[in-house]
Structure 1
Amino acid sequence: MADEASAHVLVPVGESPTLRNTVAYAVQTARERAEETGETAIVHFVYPAVWRAVEPTRAEKFERAEELLDRVELWAKEDLAGDEEAEDRAAEPVIDVETAIVGDEDYLFSPADFARVIVAYANEHDLDRIVVDPEYQPGGNAPMLRPLEFELSRSDLYVEEAPVERPARRGVLVGRESLSQYLIVFGTSYLFYLTLGGFSGTFDLVTGAISAGIVTLVLGQISLKGRPDLKRIPGEFGRMLLYIPYLVWEIAKANVTLAYVILHPRLPIDPKMVQFRAAVWNDLPATTLANSITLTPGTLTVEVSQREFYIHSLTRSARRDLLEGALERAVRFVFYGRAAARIPSPREREAEREDQQSTQQDAPTATAAGEEGEE
């Protein structure tokens, strides 16, 4: 645990009703600690990213994050300039304000993922104190603040929740921000129920509506992260209709291959675990890919951690098909469009990564050889 009197403060930020007061508290805390210790105060405001490189809305989300950080920086400078009592002091402490977006190259899914990039930034910039906004929700609508604070507290940093007043919660159950989210969950649940139970009569329609309503009330706020983009849903739905028969065809081919292996006298199996870094982001695409792999006979998704997929494969051919990335490419097509489907396969990306590492390892040797030649 870091020293509580540190003037080096890190504040993770996101849209929240108490963000303004949290900024003021962080600045005030840094000022007080700087006066006590005589050191330069530093306040860093960081925005953990929840978008990925191939997302169509990445640029828009990045712009909104930068706008929020600009607003936060302006608030912090207003608090510094508005402290008339501090201006009258002979020895005014120096306070630096910095902003940054972190984790834009990572897949931030769990509280541990968010804590990892926040702690890494703090260590990189020699920060040892974290002030957390009491209304901060890095996962959108998912309640992640308490688990995030727990993960942060496991580091050597001093972690505290800003003691600011929270607004009264008198909002309606379904507001304009969440109406589209509830409608999507209800419609999806209703269609799924009718697909399994049939459209045969009034009983199915009524019970389906009741079941979908219960699912919506229970899971409506946590099924989707943030407000869904209604403009993208028709395209994703249409591409999903193309993906389903493709997945069924892949399952059928894998069934034939597996039947041949089972009936073969020598039973030519070669079970192994495969690990690869998938080029899919966000919960729904990652879940779709993981379930598609499991549904395909011969492969089983054991674990998904960040973007790392751990797959049990039964045969060499199953591993070859998996690393060639046909399913991954199809899932990217569904959620990110045609351009994202042209990203290199897992095998190609791994080969490229190995080439880069080899080049980096050879570079110091080449430099040393050049220096010897000059001598």
Structure 2
Amino acid sequence: MGSVTSSRLLVPVSESKTLRSTVEHAVRQAVEHADESDRPASVHFVYPCSQRLTFERESESESEEIRTARSLLERVTVWAEEDRGDDEEAVTFETAMVGTREYLFSPSDYADALVQYARKHDLDLVVFDPGFNPLGTTPLLPPLENEVRRAGVEIQEAPVQRERRTPLLVRRATLAQFLSLFAISYGFYLLLAGSFAAFELATGAISAGIVSVALWGISLTTPLKPAQAAVRFGRFVLYVPYLLWEIVKANVTVAYVVLHPDLPIDPEMVEFDAAVWSALPVTTLANSITLTPGTLTVDVSRRHFTVHTLTPDSRDDLLSGALERAVRFVFYGRAAARIRSPLERQQTEDEE
């Protein structure tokens, strides 16, 4: 299964810890195939809906599944565009929900929906995430792969490491990760010391070495991509003055409110799901919101934010998604700016 290649791929998606690696594998395969054949490639990401949706009646659980599907497909698109790079003509992406007009229950039901979609869009290969399991409980992948193969469609299981049921605290790390941890620790030490004297350079190297040896197996254990890290650092350099400008503007607004004779404040808690999906982007957004006067991040559960806002203007600025888009730009690139703002996402949910 692993040797099959194609320029037109179908990738079924569901929440899993291996989904990110599967997306990267599929996009890389499509890009390589497009480079070799000088023809554009296409990758279709589809979310199989387990419940049938109707225009006459839509239950609360169905609405929740649609919201989950849209959020996941938006996330997958951001990842795919990040992996593709700037060559937008080489590979195109499509997203869709399948099985929305029928009940998907057995592996054959899911296989029929995927095969019909693949044939309708002239797709040659179905790439499965090893953690793909839309039902969430009963293992579906092995019989599903057999059903799709039996229908005459080529399949491939992404060659990514499967999720462990009991994650290891200490993992195998590479020399590049050790050196990266050493460099970060050394740089942070020198930043705190504020000096490049020989004593500081020597003690900094010793301290960084101790930290790197002690934490090598439990820190920076994800694969490092120097080029991607450099690009993100460059974006972060652009983000810092933007954040400082937002802080200055918010300070002026809060000062005006405090000094106004009528004290026009209207405190209110705001909750929303941010379109950021891993620990570092979520932490960056939460801290950025708190650093901006007039808003305070009270609680974060995965990507669900609870924020205290002081004035209607601060709420409007928060829900307009400017900070969220800036953080997405840092971690996911320019394409992520096209994702709807929190206000637009809430309006869509209300309409449904």
Q: Provide the TM-score with structure 2 as the length reference.
A: 0.53
1:55 matches 2:73: no
Q: Which amino acid aligns with 1:122?
A: T
How much does 1:251 deviate?
1.3
1:237–1:13 distance in 2 versus 1, CA, 3 Å: closer
**What CA distance in whole angstroms lies between the structure 2 residues aligned with 1:296 and 1:288?**
12
Of 270, 273, 277, the match for 1:274: 270
Which secondary structure state, in structure 2, belongs to the residue aligned with residue 241 of structure 1? Answer: helix
1:327 matches 2:351: no
Match of 2:190 in 1: 194
Any unmatched runs of 5+ in structure 1?
1-11, 15-48, 61-97, 104-116, 126-134, 144-172, 358-375
Do the aligned residues in 1 keep the contact of 2:177 with 2:221 (CA within 8 Å)? Answer: no
1:299 matches 2:295: yes
1:222 matches 2:231: no
1:101 matches 2:131: yes
Do the aligned residues in 1 keep the contact of 2:246 with 2:292 (CA within 8 Å)? Answer: yes
1:99–1:184 distance in 2 versus 1, CA, 3 Å: closer
Identity %: 52
Do the aligned residues in 1 keep the contact of 2:185 with 2:208 (CA within 8 Å)? Answer: yes
1:353 matches 2:345: no
1:57–1:339 distance in 2 versus 1, CA, 3 Å: closer
Match of 2:313 in 1: 317
**What CA distance in whole angstroms lies between the structure 2 residues aligned with 1:261 and 1:323?**
20
Match of 2:250 in 1: 254
For residues 116-131 of structure 1, the aligned pairs below 5 Å read 121-122=136-137
Q: Which amino acid aligns with 1:277?
A: D
**What CA distance in whole angstroms lies between the structure 2 residues aligned with 1:230 and 1:57?**
18
Q: Which amino acid aligns with 2:276?
A: V
**What CA distance in whole angstroms lies between the structure 2 residues aligned with 1:140 and 1:215?**
23
Match of 2:10 in 1: none
**What CA distance in whole angstroms lies between the structure 1 residues aligned with 2:291 and 2:255?**
15
How much does 1:202 deviate?
2.0
Q: Provide the TM-score with structure 1 as the length reference.
A: 0.50
Do the aligned residues in 1 keep the contact of 2:274 with 2:305 (CA within 8 Å)? Answer: yes
Q: Which amino acid aligns with 1:55?
A: W
Any unmatched runs of 5+ in structure 2?
1-15, 19-71, 85-127, 141-161
Which secondary structure state, in structure 2, belongs to the residue aligned with residue 297 of structure 1? Answer: coil
1:186–1:317 distance in 2 versus 1, CA, 3 Å: farther
**What CA distance in whole angstroms lies between the structure 1 residues aligned with 2:243 and 2:348?**
28
Match of 2:39 in 1: none
1:264–1:329 distance in 2 versus 1, CA, 3 Å: same
How much does 1:184 deviate?
2.3
Do the aligned residues in 2 keep the contact of 1:323 with 1:345 (CA within 8 Å)? Answer: yes
Do the aligned residues in 1 keep the contact of 2:81 with 2:335 (CA within 8 Å)? Answer: no
How much does 1:331 deviate?
0.8
Q: Which amino acid aligns with 1:286?
A: V
Q: Which amino acid aligns with 2:349?
A: R
**What CA distance in whole angstroms lies between the structure 2 residues aligned with 1:334 and 1:306?**
19
Do the aligned residues in 2 keep the contact of 1:197 with 1:204 (CA within 8 Å)? Answer: yes
**What CA distance in whole angstroms lies between the structure 1 residues aligned with 2:180 and 2:331?**
16
For residues 44-83 of structure 1, the aligned pairs below 5 Å read 52-53=75-76, 54-56=78-80
1:99–1:263 distance in 2 versus 1, CA, 3 Å: closer
1:191–1:140 distance in 2 versus 1, CA, 3 Å: farther
1:59–1:238 distance in 2 versus 1, CA, 3 Å: closer
Match of 2:68 in 1: none
1:231 matches 2:227: yes
Do the aligned residues in 1 keep the contact of 2:328 with 2:337 (CA within 8 Å)? Answer: yes
1:181 matches 2:177: yes
How much does 1:333 deviate?
0.7
**What CA distance in whole angstroms lies between the structure 2 residues aligned with 1:256 and 1:139?**
50
Question: How far does the alpha carbon of each residue in 1:283-311 deviate from its partner, in whole angstroms, 9 at most, with x for none?
Answer: 11111111111111222222221221111
Q: Specify the structure having the higher radius of gyration (Cα).
A: 1
How much does 1:271 deviate?
1.8
**What CA distance in whole angstroms lies between the structure 2 residues aligned with 1:261 and 1:138?**
52
Do the aligned residues in 2 keep the contact of 1:274 with 1:313 (CA within 8 Å)? Answer: yes
Match of 1:336 in 2: 332
**What CA distance in whole angstroms lies between the structure 1 residues aligned with 2:277 and 2:285?**
10
**What CA distance in whole angstroms lies between the structure 2 residues aligned with 1:312 and 1:220?**
38
Do the aligned residues in 2 keep the contact of 1:141 with 1:224 (CA within 8 Å)? Answer: no
Q: Which amino acid aligns with 1:101?
A: G
1:101–1:234 distance in 2 versus 1, CA, 3 Å: same
Match of 1:154 in 2: none
